[in-house]
Each structure stands twice: as structure tokens, then as C-alpha cells.
Structure 1
Amino acid sequence: MARPRILVVGAGFAGVECVRRLERRLSPGEADIALVSPFSYQLYLPLLPQVAAGVLTPQSVAISLRRSQKFRTRIIPGGAIGVDPRAKVCVIRKITGETLDERYDYIVLAPGSVTRTFDIPGLVEHARGMKTLAEAAYIRDHVIAQLDLADASTDDAERASRLQFVVVGGGYAGTETAACLQRLTLNAVKRYPRLDPKMIRWHLIDIAPRLMPELGERLGDVAMGILQRRGIEVTLGVSVAKAAPEEVTLTDGRVLPCRTLIWTAGVAASPLIATLGAETVRGRLAVTPEMNLQGFEGVFALGDAAAVPDLVKGDGAVCPPTAQHGIRQGRKVADNVIAAVRGLPLTPYVHRDLGLVVDLGGRDAVSRPLGVELRGMPAQAVARGYHWSALRTNVAKTRVLTDWLLNAVAGDDFVRTGFQAQKRATLRDFEFTDAYLTQDEVREHAASLTAKG
């Protein structure tokens, strides 16, 4: 008999953890494993704000899949753009531009998420996100470029707009991004004698009534106080009404002269999910506690793309889209795929929350490991210790630790590479959200493959 074909879509926390466990627990002759990803690395997403601030180099958080000699999974360099779960076909657009129709017996859908946007005039044209390595590197270049351009300008109004920065999203990504980049500009402006440091203004805005509500009221207030003491203007209950190249209009009527709008107001499941034609919960695939898709044989989904029931909380709650859940769901899905291959019963995903860590740069942090509230240096130690231990390879751990030590001793570096010199980049340029097929186009691919035999 032919070996069953297991196809894993996505090389994030969930997908890579699933592949690693499959490799460890399946013998080489028991199944063929393939991984679909446009990049042959796993991105450690929680540290992207530190890449944008120059504390870490991009290579430090891009963990190569090909370095490991034991990695026997076939990597398909491309992106899944459609899945027909009835025909068991995944349509892949390879990085060469060719389209590949890949058959499978079992598919693990872990395509992750994209930046959630709304129908706000000018948003996708003028905002930048913080979801990819390229975006983090681009934003760093862009922010430093604003200092250079303000220094070169003789127009006071232009200077004011270039030195005003707006971050939208009071969750972990937005708060850490605003904190880390504000610290970068505060240190950098000391090297610009013609610029008044008081002109640099950072705004963190969110439509929610509280900053990072998952932290709890007390730690949320502590984080708010840290940001405000550092000069970051935090405004809650407000969002963006309109974005333009040189200004941002808020829903409270204020107009902020601004050339930098960073949008981190939540995530949405990958557009790949819509191509399946399956039931969803707020855009995420509705799956069982075992993380399989009811009514479709051999289909599993997890991570940001799946509404995995939270059996600990109950009452219809689903697991939040965090790295902590992604890693553990990847292991459980791998076990369930192996059980399906071997004809054994599947088991549900049950996981208790280990806590939260928020690194605000420098010595500032708030953390709540296992329910214990920490702030300052103890929280910083816990936050960085958690991230460091979660890095999968010793090479990555060495690079990150070296970068942290170098930054602590030598301070920030303010060099821009020129990545953004050619043209303005938008959210769509980085996340390729318009690359996916419709359900009818996916079925056409599957029918064509069936006709070919």
C-alpha cells in the first residue's frame, strides 16, 4: 500500500511544532510529510517589535527549518491558495509563480492570520502592519528615515508631521511596538542636534476601554502608567476615521499631522479558510476539541485559523490566537493525525493558561506567570526568559542572547538600510491577501486533476 500523505500548511508555531512531532513519532516508512510555506523558516512573532526597534537582528527571530539535518519533511516553497476538502486537493502557488495541485490523505491547516483591517478610507494604502519580518524591517527603516527627513527639512509643519507617530491597537503587539519604537526615537534624537526632542510624539490608540485587558485591571494600569511616564500619549475608546499620506483623522474628530501609521488592531484568520466552504466562528474554522473538521475526512485545523474549543473555560469559549496555544495545539494535532493513521481514537485539546508577558523595552515590563503579577526587572527577566526558552534552536537562542547583551552594553543603533527608499509599501504588499482563489476556482482545479487521473 502507498504511504499516507500528510500535508501541513503553514510554518508558524502550530505548523512547525506539528511537523516536528510527526517526524519524531512516525517511522520514515509510515507516512510522507510535506510542509507548505513561502519561507523556509519559523518566525518568532512575539519578538518582532524588538526587530523593528533594532534590539534584535532579523536573523535572530527567523529560525531556519533547513539547518536541522534530521528534518526529513519535504518543504514546498509557496503558499496554499485554496483547499478542496472533498477532493482532498490543496492548490499551491509556488514562489516561481507556478500553480501546483497537491493531493493529500491528511491535511493540517495552520496558515495563521493576517492583519485585521476595516473599511476605513486610506487605511490599507497608508498604514503598515507588524505581522511579518519584512514589515518589521521596513518600519524600522521608515521611522529612522523620518528623523533624517525632519532633520533635513526647513519647514516646521513638515518636521512636526514627520516626528509624530501613531500606533493603533492596545493589545500586546501594539503596546510593545509603540514602547520599543518610542524608546528608539528617544535615544536616536540625541544624535540630531537640530531636532527638538519635545517634537517627537508617540500616540497609542485603541477603541477598547482598557489597555491589554487580558493582563487584568491592576497590571493594565501599571503598563499604562509606564507608557505615559515615557511620554507616549495613550487614548482609549477612539480609533481611526480616515488615513491620508500626511495626517490621520481620529473618530473623536482630532486630526494628527503624521507620516507614520502602524496598524496592529487585531488579526483575522488567513483568507485560505474561506476557500474550504466550511463552517466558521468569527472567521475561524469551527473544529471539534480534537481539532478535526466535522464532515470532512482527514482535515485538521489549529492556531489562529481555527476556533478550537477551550474546554477549561467552557461555555462556548475558544482558545485565543496566541503562540502558547499554537505550540501546544501543534503537538496535540500531530498526536491525533498519528492516531488517525494508525486507526486509534483521537483525544481532545486541553490546556491551562501559563500566563502573559509584556516587554516594554529597556527595564520596563509587566508579566503574570501562573497568575503571579510582576513588574519592572523581575517581569523583564520572566518575559525574556520565556521568549528565550521558547526559541527552538540553540543557534537562535545564542543570537538573541548576544543581541540583548550587545544592546544593553552598547545601546541602540540608528542605521537605516534603505529598504524603503524605492516606494511606499502597504499592508497588501506584505501580506498578499488578494492572492487566494474562490471556492469555484478551487473546485475547478480539483476537477481538472481528477480528469487527468
Structure 2
Amino acid sequence: MARPKILVVGAGFAGVGCVRRLERTLAPDEADLCLVTPFSYQLYLPLLPQVASGILTPQSVAVSLRRSQRFRTRIIPGGAIGVDAKAKVCVIRKITGDIVYERYDRIVLAPGSITRTFDIPGLAEHARGMKTLAEAAFIRDHVISQLDLADASQDEAERVSRLQFVVVGGGYAGTETAACLQRLTTNAIKRYPRLDPGLIKWHLIDIAPKLMPELGEKLGRSAQKILADRGVEISLGVSIAKAGPQEVTFTDGRVVPTRTLIWTAGVVASPLVATLEAETVKGRLAVGADMAVPGADGVFALGDAAAVPDLAKGEDGAFCPPTAQHAMRQGRTVADNVLASLRGQPLTPYKHKDLGLVVDLGGKDAVSKPLGVELRGLPAQAVARGYHWSALRTNVAKTRVLTNWLLNAVAGDDFVRTGFLARTPSSLRDFEYTDAYLSPEQVREHTASLSAARAD
């Protein structure tokens, strides 16, 4: 008899956590394991702001999947663009553009999320995101290029617009991005004697009334004070009304001349979710506490793409937030449940204990809340970086990150532009690929043609 096939979609924290667990627990001949991902690495997303600011090199946060000694998973280089749960077929567009069809017995959907945007004029064309390695590398080059161009310009208005930067989103990604890049420009301006340091201005805005409310009142205020003391202008209860190539308009009527708009205002589940025609909760797949999708045989979902009940809160309608901490743990639980389903054993509900929150603001600045203990300054920085360092999956990645941190602490920032992406389109619209996914009807058409071809 043919071995059952387990197909895992996505190589983020959830997908890789699942694959690693399955590789350790599956017997050699028990099942075939496949992973669908455009890249053969796991991106350590929480450290992207440090890549954008040059503290870390890009390869240090791209953890190779093939370095594991146990690695025996077949990687399909591409992205899933549709799933037919009845036919048990996943439609995949490979990085070459070719369409392939993968049958499965069990499928684990961990496609992650895309940047949440709104119908704001000019946003998709002029804003940059912060969810991929390419975006982080581009933003670094872009920010440094603004300093170079401002230094070369004789036009005062152009200098002003190039030296103002706007970050939208007061969550972890936006706050850390603004903090790290503001520190970079503050240090870099010392190398530009013709530029007035007073012209550099960073704006951090969010429609919410508080900065990082998950941290609590005291730590949230501490983070806000750290940034304000550095000169970051924080505007809460404010968003973007309109974006253009040289200015943005805030919803409170202010017009800020800028060439840099970084959008980190939350995420939504991958469009792959909509191809299943399954029940959703605020765009995320509705799943049980065991992360099985009701009514879809052999389908499991987790991470940013799934609304996983939060049993730790004991409340009806409470779901786990889309964080790396949950994704890693859910990956292990789903792997156990996939294996249990193959062996005819009962499935286990996902339960967790919150380990706390860490926010690295660059340099000696940080706020952390490990296991409910509030920390600031160097102790918080040690906890934040210690947590991130320990979460990296290979010794090579740990060595690279630690070396980068030590080098930055000793030698300071460097301000080199690589120029690799200088002529590459780099807006939100260019990186999200939301038009690549099939509609449910198209998925059925693809799988029907596949069945007809096989019958012939």
C-alpha cells in the first residue's frame, strides 16, 4: 500500500515547528512528508527591524531548513494558491510559474498572513511593508539613500521631505521598526556634516489610543517615553488619509512631506484561506481546539491563518493572537494530532502558558514582560535578545546573530547601501502577490480537469 502523504503549507514558525516535530516522531516508512514554501529557509520575523537597521545581516535571520540532520522532507519550491478539501488536492504555483497538483491524506495549513491594508488612496502604490527579507533589505537601502539624496540636494524643500519618515502601526513591528531605524539615522547623520540633524524627523502613528496595549499601562508608557525622548513624534488615534510620492496626509488633517511611508498596521490571514469555502472568524479559518477544520477531512490549520480557541483564557470567543510564540507551540501540537489521526488515536487540544512579551528598541533600550515581570533598560534588553537568540533553530544562526550583535556593539552602525533592490518595484502591492490566488470555483475547475486527465 502507498504511504499516506502529509502536506504542510508554509515555512513560518507554525509550519516549520510542525515539520520538525513530524520528522522526529514519524517512523521512517510511516508517511511521506512534503513542505510547500517559496524559500528553503525559515524567516525569523521578529528580528526584521534589526535587519532593516543594519544591526543584523539578512542571512542571519534566514534559518536554513536543510541544515537539520534529520531533514527528510521534500520541499516544493512555490506557494499554495488553492485547496480542494473534497478532492484532497492542493494547487501549487512553483517559483517557475508552473502549476502543479499535490494530493494529500493530511494537510497542515500554515500559510501565515499578509499585511492588512485599507482603501486609502495611494497606500498600495507608495507604502512599503515589513514582512519579508526583501522588504527589510529594501527599506534599509531606501532610508540611507534618502540621507545621500538630501545631502546632494540644493533644494531645502526636497531635503525636508527626504529626511522625514512615517511609520504606521503602533504594535511590535511598527514600534521596533521606528525605534531601530530612528537610531540608525541619528547615528548616520553624524557622517553628513552638510545636513542639519534637526531636519531628521520620525513619525509613529496608530489609530489605537495606546502604544502596544498588550504590554500594559506602565510598560506601554515607558516605551512611548523612550521613543519620545529620542525625538520620535508619536500620534495616537491617527491614521493615513492619503498617500503620495512626496507627502502623506494624516486623518487629523496634517500634511507631512516625506518620501518614506512604512506600513505595519496589522495583518490578515493569507488569501489561501478563502479558497477552502470553510467557516472563518474575522478572515481566519475556524478550527477546534485540536486545530482540525470542521467538515474538512484531514485538514488542520494554525498560526496566523487560523482562529484557534484560547483555552488559557477560559472565555467563549477568545482566540490565540497571531504571534510567533503561539505559532511555534501550535506547530508541535498539530504535528502530534496529525500523527494521532493517522494512528487512529484521540487528538489533543492546544493549551499554552504565556511566556510574556519582549520589545527591543535598539541600543540599550528595551521593555520586556517575561512571565508577568516588568523590566526596562538593560535587563529588559538582555531578556529580549536572550529570548530571540534561544528561539533560533540552528547553531549557525545563533552564531551569526550573536556575532552581529557583538560587532554592532563594538563598531557601531554601518551606512552602506547594497543597491541590490534599487531598481526593483517595492511597494505593498509588489510584495503581497494577492492576485496569485484562485477563487473556490477556479480551484474546483483545476481539480476537475486533473481528474478528467487522469481518467483519460
The answer to whether TM tops 0.5 is: yes
| Paired amino acid for 1:161 | S
Distance 1:250 1:125 in 2: 17
Alignment correspondent of 1:217: 217
Alignment correspondent of 1:188: 188
Cα drift, residue 85 of structure 1: 0.6
**Post-superposition CA distance 1:37-61 (Å, at most 9, x none):** 0000000000000000000000000
**Post-superposition CA distance 1:150-200 (Å, at most 9, x none):** 000000000000000000000000000000000000000000000000000
1:22-421 matches, within 5 Å, as 22-313=22-313, 314-421=315-422
Unaligned runs of 5+ in 1: none
Runs of 4 or more, structure 1, over 3 Å off, are none
Q: Paired residues, what number?
A: 453
**Post-superposition CA distance 1:235-280 (Å, at most 9, x none):** 0000000000000000000000000000000001001111111110
Distance 1:73 1:421 in 2: 36
* 8 Å Cα contact 2:138-2:422 kept in structure 1: no
| Paired amino acid for 2:322 | P
Distance 1:452 1:7 in 2: 22
Alignment correspondent of 2:4: 4
Distance 1:435 1:349 in 2: 32
**Post-superposition CA distance 1:348-377 (Å, at most 9, x none):** 000121100000000000000000000000
Distance 1:165 1:378 in 2: 30
* 8 Å Cα contact 1:287-1:306 kept in structure 2: yes
**Post-superposition CA distance 1:70-105 (Å, at most 9, x none):** 200000000000001111010000011100011000
Cα drift, residue 420 of structure 1: 3.6
What's the TM-score, normalizing by structure 1?
A: 0.99
For residue 76 of structure 2, give the secondary structure of its aligned residue in structure 1: strand
Cα drift, residue 284 of structure 1: 0.2
For residue 90 of structure 1, give the secondary structure of its aligned residue in structure 2: strand
* 8 Å Cα contact 1:165-1:202 kept in structure 2: yes
| Paired amino acid for 1:211 | L
Cα drift, residue 429 of structure 1: 1.4
* 8 Å Cα contact 1:142-1:420 kept in structure 2: no
* 8 Å Cα contact 1:290-1:348 kept in structure 2: yes
Overall identity of the aligned pairs, in %: 80
* 8 Å Cα contact 1:173-1:264 kept in structure 2: yes
Distance 1:407 1:201 in 2: 23
Unaligned runs of 5+ in 2: none
Alignment correspondent of 1:14: 14
For residue 128 of structure 1, give the secondary structure of its aligned residue in structure 2: coil
| Paired amino acid for 2:390 | S
For residue 285 of structure 2, give the secondary structure of its aligned residue in structure 1: strand
Cα drift, residue 315 of structure 1: 2.4
* 8 Å Cα contact 1:40-1:75 kept in structure 2: yes
Distance 2:380 2:289 in 1: 33
Cα drift, residue 423 of structure 1: 4.6
Distance 1:69 1:75 in 2: 15
Distance 1:79 1:206 in 2: 32
Distance 1:3 1:163 in 2: 59
* 8 Å Cα contact 2:67-2:394 kept in structure 1: no
Cα drift, residue 69 of structure 1: 3.5
Distance 2:170 2:408 in 1: 26
Cα drift, residue 67 of structure 1: 2.2
Cα drift, residue 66 of structure 1: 1.6
For residue 346 of structure 1, give the secondary structure of its aligned residue in structure 2: coil
* 8 Å Cα contact 2:168-2:205 kept in structure 1: yes
| Paired amino acid for 2:445 | E
Distance 2:247 2:424 in 1: 18
Distance 1:297 1:70 in 2: 29
Distance 2:67 2:18 in 1: 18
Worse-matched range after superposition: 19-28 or 66-75: 66-75
Distance 2:423 2:389 in 1: 35
For residue 434 of structure 1, give the secondary structure of its aligned residue in structure 2: helix
Cα drift, residue 424 of structure 1: 4.3
* 8 Å Cα contact 2:165-2:203 kept in structure 1: yes
| Paired amino acid for 2:126 | H
* 8 Å Cα contact 2:24-2:70 kept in structure 1: no
Cα drift, residue 434 of structure 1: 1.3
For residue 435 of structure 2, give the secondary structure of its aligned residue in structure 1: coil
**Post-superposition CA distance 1:261-309 (Å, at most 9, x none):** 0000000100111111111000000000000000011000000000000
Q: Say what the alpha-carbon RMSD is for the aligned residues.
A: 0.7
Alignment correspondent of 1:430: 431
Cα drift, residue 419 of structure 1: 2.7
Distance 2:452 2:294 in 1: 27
Cα drift, residue 452 of structure 1: 2.5
Distance 1:160 1:284 in 2: 42
